[in-house]
A = this chain, B = another copy of it.
Amino acid sequence: MRYSHMRDEGRPETMPTLERVSSRSGFDVSRLPVAACMRFARNTEIFGEDDRAEYLYTVRTGAVRGYKLLSDGRRQIEAFYLSGDVFGITAGDRHHCSAEAVVNSSILLVKRSTVEALAARDPQLARSLWISAAERLEQAQEHLLLLGRKNAHERLAAFLLDMAARCGATRNPIELPMSRQDIADYLGLTIETVSRMLTDMANTAMIELPSSRRVLLRDAAALSRVNC
């Protein structure tokens, strides 16, 4: 599958703008003394593979995709980051993946150097750094199981249940911020297969699709059964 030609930028509504923030506005890693907040328009890059990793990031509003590309344009989305999620974690001084805003997003940034300096004096902070890395690792490992061993139906079921849990188990239908292409690249499938699985699930009354970006989970138990 080659679709580098599809890496369209849509229509970025605004350029990233910087806005200082008094912080302590809920950075998940810990309450931190200083942070910047930036707005990223839909489909704009937050950082690229091999960029210097100067910041840690937290989603305040919106959604972000982290991904890798192969030289021929194949893309694997490693994770979607939603409100409250930390991303940009890396061991070295460079990022090992790229990140883009899926929709217009507001992102909190904290300098890694600041965080690390603080962590050297604050065991609580150091611990929460380690915890958030370990959490991302667990998520990645669940994702490995999905990509390595689940079929298309199971992948979609897992994805929908996960999104439902993260987007707020309360509100139904789920409002998906990402396109079919994003979903496909997250699940290791093609847009066509994603589309077919969704219509299958709608036909078997597991879900309803009020619109292409809205999914109502009609029979979550059945979805769980599909998901193994």
The verdict on A89 contacting B134 (CB below 8 Å), with A228-B70, A228-B72 known, is: yes
User: What separation, in Å, do the CA atoms of A93 and B71 have in the docked complex?
Assistant: 40
For chain A, give the interface size range.
35 or more
Q: Which of B127, B136, B148, B188 contacts A120 (CB 8 A)?
A: B127
Q: Indicate if A19 sits at the interface (CB-CB under 8 A).
A: no
10 closest A-B pairs by beta carbon, nearest first, are A148-B188, A91-B134, A147-B147, A126-B126, A133-B133, A140-B140, A120-B123, A76-B148, A76-B145, A74-B149
Closest-CB distance, A122 to chain B (whole angstroms): 9
Q: Indicate if A121 sits at the interface (CB-CB under 8 A).
A: yes
Q: Indicate if A161 sits at the interface (CB-CB under 8 A).
A: no
Q: Indicate if A141 sits at the interface (CB-CB under 8 A).
A: yes
B123 touches A133 (CB 8 A): no
A68 touches B145 (CB 8 A): yes
B123 touches A119 (CB 8 A): yes
Residue of B nearest to A134 (CB): B91
Residues of A within 8 A of B (CB): 1, 68, 70-72, 74-76, 78, 89-91, 96-97, 116, 119-121, 123, 126-127, 129-138, 140-145, 147-150, 185, 187-188, 228
Q: Which of B74, B127, B141, B145 contacts A126 (CB 8 A)?
A: B127
User: What separation, in Å, do the CA atoms of A147 and B144 have in the docked complex?
Assistant: 7
Residue of B nearest to A141 (CB): B78
Closest-CB distance, A50 to chain B (whole angstroms): 13
User: What separation, in Å, do the CA atoms of A87 and B11 have in the docked complex?
Assistant: 44
Instruction: List 18 A-B residue pairs with CB atoms under 8 Å apart, sorted by A's residue number.
Output: A74-B228, A76-B145, A90-B138, A91-B138, A116-B127, A119-B123, A119-B126, A119-B130, A120-B127, A126-B127, A129-B130, A130-B130, A136-B137, A137-B137, A137-B140, A140-B140, A143-B144, A148-B188
Residues of B close to A142: CB separation below 8 A: 68, 96
Residue of B nearest to A75 (CB): B149
